[in-house]
């Protein structure tokens, strides 16, 4: 029994080491890993060696980076693999129409998790596939919260509407009004709430039972008017994707245009 407990503890500490790598961390030194994992350097060194042998970490000239084994496992997660595969043709259509960065995300443990991203050349980005961001200050997060059970948005509010930029919504009343507006229009906006100078528009997608499956967005926009202009194109693609996922038209979805919008109409 003691050996089992020790092995479980080592496993958890090993996973903690992997978790020290954030979305923007290409490499970390052993000292950084030990500090972030709150482990003695000697313990971190031993666990890192095991993870390198397994393939979860790779050694570099500057320290350590996540290994291909982590990438392979991440791409094997069913929700990411299946949803990403189905969504990719629709994301490409949206990218071709708008010429902007497009994203697909799901909701997990009070955060958005990016599943796929097609990034426009020269566009700044806040994250990459597999990265996480708060729900309350992202268009993707609002789009999913608006169509999630009330307990999910209540938990987000209880966790605190922390300010990320000076435009982040921190008022509970304002935030609830924002979600109500999203339920009406099916469009959610990020008005410089995550990154100053950047705007985003998002809309939810649904599965065959009309249950929220995730959300798609167009980001790296330079104005709220530019974001609003992309609403029809985004809704069209989202409804087509929802139908591909098996969603029927009986779930009170807006009726899409008969033809796909031309890109020229949405250049901003």
Q: pTM of the full predicted structure?
A: 0.68
**Tens place of pLDDT per residue across the chain (268 aa):** 334 344 446 778 888 888 888 766 788 999 999 999 888 988 888 899 989 888 888 888 888 888 877 766 766 555 555 788 889 999 999 999 998 999 999 998 888 988 899 988 776 666 777 788 999 999 999 999 999 999 999 999 999 999 999 999 999 999 999 999 999 999 999 999 999 988 999 999 998 888 899 999 998 778 888 888 899 999 999 999 999 888 544 444 444 433 444 444 444 4
pLDDT value for 79: 53
Domains and CATH numbers, the chain: 2-73 (1.10.10.10), 77-266 (3.30.450.40)
Place of tokens 């099916």: 186
Please say whether the beta carbons of 21 and 51 come within 8 A: no
Please say whether the beta carbons of 79 and 87 come within 8 A: no
Please say whether the beta carbons of 209 and 199 come within 8 A: no
């Amino acid at each position: 029994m003691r050996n089992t407990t020790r092995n479980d503890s080592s496993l958890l500490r090993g996973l903690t080491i992997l978790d020290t790598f954030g979305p923007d961390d290409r490499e970390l030194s052993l000292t950084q890993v030990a500090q972030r994992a709150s482990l003695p350097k000697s313990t971190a060194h031993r666990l890192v060696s095991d993870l390198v042998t397994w393939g979860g970490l790779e050694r570099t000239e500057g320290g350590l980076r996540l290994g291909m084994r982590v990438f392979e496992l991440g791409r094997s997660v069913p929700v990411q693999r299946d949803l990403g595969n189905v969504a990719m043709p629709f994301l490409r259509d949206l990218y071709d129409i708008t010429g902007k960065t497009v994203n697909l995300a799901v909701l997990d443990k009070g955060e958005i998790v990016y599943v796929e991203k097609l990034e426009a050349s020269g566009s700044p980005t806040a994250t990459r596939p597999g990265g996480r961001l708060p729900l309350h200050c992202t268009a993707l997060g609002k789009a999913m919260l608006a169509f999630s059970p009330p307990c999910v948005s209540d938990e987000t509010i209880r966790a605190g509407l922390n300010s990320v930029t000076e435009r982040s919504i921190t008022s509970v009343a304002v935030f609830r009004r924002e979600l109500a507006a999203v339920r009406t229009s099916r469009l959610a906006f990020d008005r410089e709430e995550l990154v100053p100078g950047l705007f985003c528009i998002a809309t939810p997608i649904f599965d065959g039972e009309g249950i929220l499956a995730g959300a798609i967005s167009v980001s790296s926009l330079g104005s709220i008017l530019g974001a609003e202009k992309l609403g029809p194109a985004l809704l069209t693609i989202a409804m087509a994707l929802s139908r591909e996922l098996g969603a029927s038209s009986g779930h009170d979805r807006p009726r899409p245009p008969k033809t796909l919008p031309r890109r020229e109409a949405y250049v901003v």
